[in-house]
Amino acid sequence: MSIEGSRLDPWVDSYAGRARSLSGSAIRALFAVASRPEVVSLAGGMPYVQALSMDQMADIAAKVIRERGAQALQYGSGQGDVRLREQILEITAEVGVLAHPDDIIVTTGSQMALDLVTRTFCDPGDVVLVESPSYVGALGVFRAYECDVIHVAMDDDGLIPAVLQETIDSVRAAGKRIKLIYTIPSFHNPAGVTQSPERRQEILRIGQESGIAILEDDPYGLLGFEGAPPRALRADDSEGVIYLGSFSKTIASGLRVGWAVAPHGVREKLVLAAEAATLCPSNYAQLTISEYLATQPWREQIKSFQEVYRERRDALLESLQAMMPAGTRWTIPAGGFYSWVTLPAGLDATAMLPRAIAELVAYVPGTGFYVDGQGSANMRLSYCYPDPDRIREGVRRLASVVETELEIARTFGTASGTEVPGTGESATPGPDLA
């Protein structure tokens, strides 16, 4: 059977233009190795679900099926189970978000809420302002809807309001339409920083004055290591902010349950969009979460998670301080899962990844968290999954890799900003690493 001009995919000319960006890459393939037990993966953002009592989770799952099986295994409301929505309000109250159960839509992880909001607000070419860097999963959604994504600078206090205002002015002066300001104010993924209270008020004011909706993504808000959880933006503006929350980090990511708290008009649209996309979120998963919240000391469990992650954060920071070569910088997260590392001048984290994988340590290169090629000098390190000893071993290996790369950079004089072939591609990781 001869092959005449085959591209091995008979539908290749039928795909939408936006699907052209959906392809594999060498970097993505490298992450396949990160799943091997020999590799210390500082790449994945997987919560440490082993901290849960599996016996209790099994009892809950069995009880849901035994006592409410007919409901759990059936279609449900497109907006989500009403009892769970009431319970979600107990959780959002921890970050100051007070609302009515009708203001909530339950989604298949907050990732789906991101998709619904973007689909509802954005036409192709509309601008979405995001932090610099920003969550890779959100960038993927914005790209899928053909949004024009523009990064806005951050510092150790998060998104910089003055730069946000300047960006809005310049984008509008260029005749473009801005639809959303997307922000992760607390324990940022990937930057590890948190917006100060003053910044939050300024950002709210800018959103209100400019008439741009703020999309607040807050999966880590309850996972702080010091004091009370940061007050959400939505707590001080119920009309201008769409708030996204998730059980993925505080209970179990595998259940895929998140939510959006949205103003009335937006919520109506989101429910219709959700029904068009999936009919309804999983009833089984919702009832499992609901039963967990009703019967388990979830606040205590969150404290337990905080302790686990704080110990791991400390192991990471102490190891970085002790072992990384001079010129390496990193953020100090006060919660969440991540620290954002800046390599010494001249190093490229994407180009370095093959060597790191060969030395059995993995991270996510910074370019995956930008749409415009920035981030080559950065990497995201996650401390959520490996135990402290593994983290220390991972940093030891990573420090050795960086030393070797420094030597090569010195040899070849590859100055900062030099483009290394093969690194122009997106370093976008898969869902288990996002």
Partner 1 sequence: MSKQSARQILVLSGGLSPERDVSLRSGRRVADALRSARPDWEVTEADVDAGLLPYLAEYRPDCVVPLLHGAAGEDGALRDVLETLDIPFVGSPASASRLAFDKPVASSLVSATGVAVPEFVVLPQSTFRELGAPAVMKAVSGRIGFPLVVKPTRGGSALGVSIVREERDLPAAMVSAFSYGETAMIQRFIEGTELAIGVIDTGEGPQALPAVEIVPETGMYDYHARYTAGATEFFCPARLNNDVASAVSDVALTAHSALGLSDLSRTDVIVDADGTVWFLEVNVAPGMTETSLLPQAISAAGLAVGDVIASFIN
The answer to whether 23 contacts partner 1 (rule: CB under 8 A) is: yes
The tokens for 171 are: 């984008």
Q: Pick the closer one to partner 1 by CB: 331 or 414.
A: 414
Task: Identify the helix (H) or strand (E) that includes residue 261.
Answer: strand 258-261
Rank residues 164 and 352 by Cβ distance to partner 1 and give the closer one.
352
Asked if residue 130 lies in contact with residue 167, where contact means CB atoms within 8 angstroms, the answer is: no
Query: Alpha-carbon distance 21 to 383, whole Å?
Result: 30
Q: Which residues pair with 378 in a beta bridge?
A: 342
Residues 6+ apart with CB under 8 A from 381: 42, 316, 330, 338, 339, 340, 341, 363
CB atoms within 10 A of CB 324: 19
The answer to whether residue 355 forms part of the interface with partner 1 (CB under 8 A) is yes
- Assign 171 to helix, strand or coil: helix
**DSSP category for residue 159:** E
Contacting residue, 16, 17, 29, 265, with partner 1 by CB under 8 A: 29
d(CA 219, CA 360): 29
Q: What is the Cα–Cα distance from 428 to 434, expressed in whole angstroms?
A: 8
The residue from 16, 17, 18, 33 that contacts partner 1 (CB under 8 A) is 33
Among the listed ranges 272-280, 350-358, 374-382, 384-392, the one in contact with partner 1 (CB under 8 A) is: 350-358
Is 6 among the residues that bind partner 1 (CB under 8 A)? yes
Task: Examine residue 408 and tell whether it contacts partner 1 (CB under 8 A).
Answer: yes
- Would you count residue 400 as binding partner 1 (CB under 8 A)? no
Amino acid found at 293: L
Nearer to partner 1, 13 or 300 (CB): 13
CB of 312 to partner 1, least distance (A): 25
Q: Which of 99, 110, 111 is nearest to 259 (CA)?
A: 110
Told to check if 36 binds partner 1 by CB under 8 A, we report yes
Alpha-carbon span 234 to 221, nearest angstrom: 12
The least CB distance from residue 313 to partner 1, in Å, is 28
Kindly state whether residue 403 participates in binding partner 1, applying the rule CB under 8 A.
no
- Residue 226 sits at the vertex; the CA angle it makes with 342 and 257, to the nearest 5 degrees, is 80
Segment interacting with partner 1 (CB under 8 A) among 164-172, 348-356, 362-370, 383-391 = 348-356
Q: Please give the Cα distance from 289 to 52 (Å, whole number).
A: 13
Q: Does 226 bind partner 1 (CB under 8 A)?
A: no
Spatial separation of the C-alpha atoms in residues 425 and 396, rounded to whole Å: 28
Interaction of residue 189 with partner 1, rule CB under 8 A: no
The least distance separating partner 1 from the CB of residue 409, rounded to whole angstroms, comes to 7
Interaction between residue 421 and partner 1 (CB under 8 A): yes
Using the rule CB under 8 A, which residue among 130, 241, 251, 353 binds partner 1? 353
Q: Quick one: DSSP state of residue 41?
A: E
Block residue for tokens 């119920």: 238
The smaller minimum CB distance to partner 1, of residues 15 and 239, is found at 15
3 binds partner 1 (CB under 8 A): yes
CB of 307: closest distance to partner 1 in angstroms?
Answer: 32
By the 10 Å C-beta count (0-12 exposed, 13-18 middle, 19+ buried), 274 is classed as buried
Site map (CB under 8 A) of partner 1, residues 37-66, x = contact = xxx---------------------------
Q: Which positions from 357 through 376 interact with partner 1, judged by CB under 8 A?
A: 357-358, 360
Place of tokens 């993927």: 140
Instruction: Tell me how far apart the alpha carbons of residues 420 and 365 are, in angstroms, rounded to a whole number.
Output: 14
CB of 166 to partner 1, least distance (A): 33
Check binding of 345 to partner 1 (CB under 8 A): no
Chain residues that interact with partner 1, rule: CB under 8 A: 1-9, 12, 15, 23-26, 28-30, 32-33, 36-39, 348, 351-355, 357-358, 360, 407-409, 411-414, 418-423, 425
